[in-house]
Amino acid sequence: MSAHSEALREAERLMTVCNSCRYCEGLCAVFPAMEMRRAFSAGDLNYLANLCHSCGACYYDCQFSPPHEFDVNVPRTLAIVRNDSYADYAWPRALSGTFKRNGLAVSLIAVLSVVAFLFAFMALSDPSVMFARQVGEGAFYRIMPHDAMVALFGGVFLYSCLALFMGLRAFWRDMAAGPPPAFDLASLWQAMKDAGRLRYLDGGGVGCMNADERPRDTRRLYHHMTFYGFGLCFAATSVATLYAYLLGRAAPYPWWDLPVVLGTLGGIGLLIGPAGLLLAKSKRDPVLMDGTRTGMDAAFLAMLFFTALTGLALLVLRATPAMGTLLAVHLGFVFGFFLTMPYGKFVHGLYRYAALVRYAMERRAEEAAAEAAAAGGAAKAAA
Amino acid sequence: MDSAHDVLVIGGGNAALCAAISARRAGASVKVLEAAPRFYRGGNTRHTRNMRCAHDTATDTLTGPYTEDEFWDDLKRVTQGHTDEELARFMIAKSKDMLPWISAQGVRFQPSLGGTLSLGRTNSFFLGGGRAMLNALYQTAEGLGVEVEYDAEVVALEIEDGMFLSATVKRQSGLETVRAGALVAAAGGFEANIAWLKEYWGPPAENFLIRGTPYNRGTMLRMLLDKGVQEIGDPTQCHAVAIDARAPKFDGGIITRLDCVVFGIVVNRDAERFYDEGEDFWPKRYAIWGRLVAHQPDQIAYIVFDAKSLTSFMPSLYPPISASTLEELAGKLELDRAKFCATVAGFNAAIVPGGSFDHTVLDDCRTQGLTPPKTHWARPVDTPPFYAYPVRPGITFTYLGVRVNQEARMIMTDGRPAANMFAAGEIMAGNVLGRGYAAGIGMTIGSVFGKTAGEGASRRARN
């Protein structure tokens, strides 16, 4: 265990404390997962850290939290371990430094991306097109050719997917969870339900804590708006892609058409959700937080917010001469978002889901073992 | 500056908060004075986990019914009859209403999990434990308009002829007199008052570890007894379990407990065994080993076991002391090596061969011709590495209290009920729990008598 970082050593100490108390076992998945172990490898601790939803309940419920001399602060310690793990799993490894000053890195990339699009549009397209009113099918592509858009965004998206997959693979190996559960559909589905409902951002039913020990937190609601808003936007893009390739219908689409409806609803979610989460973050009891890496969270939320804001602005003003400029700004944010997905807070969703899958698998294995033991006991009793 | 309230509650745990909430709900203005700082509020409630209430059917969180009669049988057994039957039966009957009432005050319950399944039928577990329960009660009380003050120790009581008039509270800013129409004393026992413990235990009490906060000093209890309230419960007795000797002096709580005596042998400072480690199951053995160790020289003992048993019991905060040989282990424990090895060898040699070890039943693994014997679960300590936990008495609570009636009203030495003084929780637990312990019963006493006291105090104050 000497290879453990300071944060991992502290997490290991806390899990030893918590494992001999277990009062928090009803709050979330972290403590039952902890109880399945007596010793904690780095992979175990990274698993528990990514399983933690940061609801905060265990801090305020703990009789040993500071100023008690046992100094038990699970949310903060796991937040630090979790944030460290993002950098550890980054692919390629050389880019793990982007997690160090992530707020700065992500903001810079976003700004550069927006500026690059503006310059490229102005340099490459005819000003009479760029700053004129463009309407009707294919209006956007008069400014940026469709194939160029597909190549650029398809390319960055595929790269990000690869980088995310490699990170996920590193996490899965670190957890020593065995072969990926491609066929353990029950665990995948269980984790999907747990993630989709944010089952563990709930303090075990009381609600979660953020500013103090009163469970008045609203992060769950805002996270749902963010997550499902993002999902709707993703769906909008997917439907639009199908329209383009299957039906040969090019954007922009009328306001009542599916891509626009989905995108608008999603965009509204992505305005309110991230704003609410950011506000909650500003109210959060500092004792619960990593403290050194809030920039990462803020940058990710800001990125989502501005992507949505510029997207909605583009929708509202698409029939005006501002469309070209807004398209550049919006595409700049989207590009920046895609590019920073593997190097920012976005990864939390993947690792959280993977941890939930692992937890579902462990629970199923435990239940199967208990059933087998009960059956064995019954057989023994019968004999 | 003086202030006046209908009801003054002194203390800040479960009993105090139940009293404050019920008095406030009955319309009284209520002030709570908690001697501890905010973080340490709630005394022993901080370290509790569940409460034992009678119930007729299984619920979401309870696996089956627990009748009043069964509860009474359990209480009679653990106290060996040291209980006031009328009061105990009153409490048990009232306990039935406590689960919904406590839930209505914002406290959440969960099914018992993991290592506590044996209590899943009888005891209701607080989601998040005792501090979570306290947080909910405080939030409810403050929402109702109960005034709560921390770091506010009451140092004097003005009582005339069984009538409470005022309390003097000591704050950093000085002394203040607080008047109230009725008093609820819910300030716990005196387990953290080493000087008081020494009155009965002498110098060995210096070596006791206190499982709860340093604020359970018994100041209120002392003042009430001095002002003519009748006492109840054996003043010399306290609930003592064996806990890790490396635990802090105060507030080590649940995580320093050790329940592994069955897996090995227990020796004292002189490397001698002194009691049958295989006598009985948890919780009986749990509750006797504190006192057993308290009677050993220097109030210390060592639970010694080997590699076979390392993962057979709940982990605890501190890792066991380990060594590859018994000699080395004796050295690390600073015990006489030869004597220690002889004790282990003598134990190993006395084990009757052919036993089949099963720590879940009173098995047939035992010693023969050994004093004291180990009557169950005796397996040779012979597989390195060897391990030891040093243990000391850990004091949970004391039994001395004030006598009360069914209204939770204090009884004066002349046998008459006090006019406007009520008590709830550990400070009067000795009325129903004169000896022994059953998991979760302290919280039942606190909740039932707290609610009763609050209602009575409110009635009295507003008349």
Q: What is the pLDDT of residues B75-118, one digit of tens each?
A: 999 999 999 999 999 999 999 999 999 999 999 999 877 666 67
Partner residue facing A64 (CB), from B253, B311, B314: B253
CB contact under 8 A, A61 and B135: yes
pLDDT band at B347 (very low <50, low <70, confident <90, very high): very high
Task: Give me the pLDDT at residue A2, please.
Answer: 41
Q: List the single range of B193-207, B277-291, B335-349 with lowest mean pLDDT.
A: B277-291
Q: CA dihedral in degrees (B196, B199, B205, B210; nearest 10)?
A: -20
Residues of A in contact with B125 (CB under 8 A): 26
Residues of B in contact with A16 (CB under 8 A): 315, 317
Task: Give me the pLDDT at residue A138, please.
Answer: 86
Task: Give me the pLDDT at residue A292, please.
Answer: 85
Q: Give the residue carrying structure tokens 């986990």.
A: B49
**Which residue intervals of chain B bear CATH 3.50.50.60?**
3-234+399-462
* Mean of the per-residue pLDDT values of chain B: 94
CB contact under 8 A, B131 and A26: no
CB contact under 8 A, A204 and B127: yes
- Residue numbers of the domain that contains A318: 101-363
Q: How far is B107 from chain A (nearest CA, A)?
A: 9
Decide if A381 touches B, using CB distance below 8 A.
no
Q: Which residue of B has its CA nearest to A32?
A: B114
Task: Give me the pLDDT at residue B360, please.
Answer: 85
- As for how many domains chain A has, the answer is 1
CB contact under 8 A, A38 and B315: yes
Cβ(A171)–Cβ(A85) under 8 Å? Answer: yes
Within a domain: A381: no
CB contact under 8 A, B139 and A16: no
Cβ(B423)–Cβ(B19) under 8 Å? Answer: no
* Residue B10: strand, helix, or coil: strand
Residues 200-259, chain A: which have Cβ within 8 Å of B? 203-206, 213-214
Which residue has better confidence, B317 or B340? B340
Looking at the domain covering B240-394, what would its CATH class be? Answer: alpha beta
CB contact under 8 A, B253 and A21: yes
Tell me the Cα Rg of chain A: 24
Task: Give me the pLDDT at residue A378, please.
Answer: 65
pLDDT tens digits for B382-432?
999 999 999 999 999 999 999 999 999 999 999 999 999 999 999 999 999
Decide if A69 touches B, using CB distance below 8 A.
yes
Average pLDDT over residues B148-170: 96
Which of B127, B140, B142, B309 to probe by mutation at the A interface, max A CB count within 10 Å? B127
pLDDT tens digits for B353-374?
999 999 888 999 999 999 999 9
pLDDT tens digits for B210-252?
999 999 999 999 999 999 999 999 999 999 999 999 999 999 9
Residues of A in contact with B130 (CB under 8 A): 23, 63
Task: Give me the pLDDT at residue A126, please.
Answer: 83
CATH label, B3-234+399-462, candidates 3.40.190.80, 2.102.10.10, 3.50.50.60, 3.30.365.10: 3.50.50.60
Task: Give me the pLDDT at residue B385, please.
Answer: 97
CB contact under 8 A, A24 and B125: no
CB contact under 8 A, B248 and A60: no
Within a domain: A370: no
CB contact under 8 A, A67 and B39: yes
Q: Which of A28, A23, A22 is nearest to A204 (CA)?
A: A28
Q: How many CB pairs under 8 A join A and B?
A: 86
Q: What is the ipTM of this complex?
A: 0.93
Task: Give me the pLDDT at residue A318, please.
Answer: 92
pLDDT tens digits for B32-70?
999 999 999 999 999 999 999 999 999 888 999 999 999
Distance CA B92, CA B68 (A): 6
Q: How far is B114 from chain A (nearest CA, A)?
A: 8
Within a domain: A212: yes
* Residue B218: strand, helix, or coil: coil
Measured CB to CB, residues of chain B less than 8 Å from chain A are 39, 46-47, 49, 108, 110-111, 113-115, 125-132, 135-136, 139, 248, 251, 253-255, 311, 314-317
Per-residue pLDDT of chain A (383 residues), as tens digits, is: 445 789 999 999 999 999 999 999 999 999 999 999 989 999 999 999 999 999 999 999 999 999 999 999 999 999 999 999 999 999 999 999 999 999 999 999 999 999 999 999 888 888 888 888 888 888 888 888 888 999 999 999 999 999 999 999 999 999 976 666 667 899 999 999 999 999 999 988 888 899 999 988 899 999 999 999 999 999 999 999 999 899 988 888 999 999 999 999 999 999 999 999 999 999 999 999 998 888 999 999 999 999 999 999 999 999 999 999 999 999 999 999 999 999 999 999 999 999 999 999 999 998 898 888 888 766 666 65
Q: Give the residue carrying structure tokens 């501090």.
A: B131
Q: How far is B162 from chain A (nearest CA, A)?
A: 37
C-alpha distance from residue B308 to each of A202, A222, B127, B319, B374 (Å): 40, 51, 34, 16, 18
CB contact under 8 A, A213 and B135: yes
Q: What is the DSSP letter of A220?
A: H
* Residue B59: strand, helix, or coil: coil
Residues of B in contact with A32 (CB under 8 A): 113-114
Q: How far is B132 from chain A (nearest CA, A)?
A: 4
* Residue B30: strand, helix, or coil: strand
Percentage with pLDDT > 90 across chain B: 89
CB contact under 8 A, A17 and B125: no
Residues of B in contact with A206 (CB under 8 A): 108, 127-128, 132, 136
Q: Which residue of A has its CA nearest to B109?
A: A26
DSSP string, B387-423: EEEEEEEEEEEE--EE-B-TT-EEEBTTSPEEEEEEE
Q: How far is A184 from chain B (nearest CA, A)?
A: 25
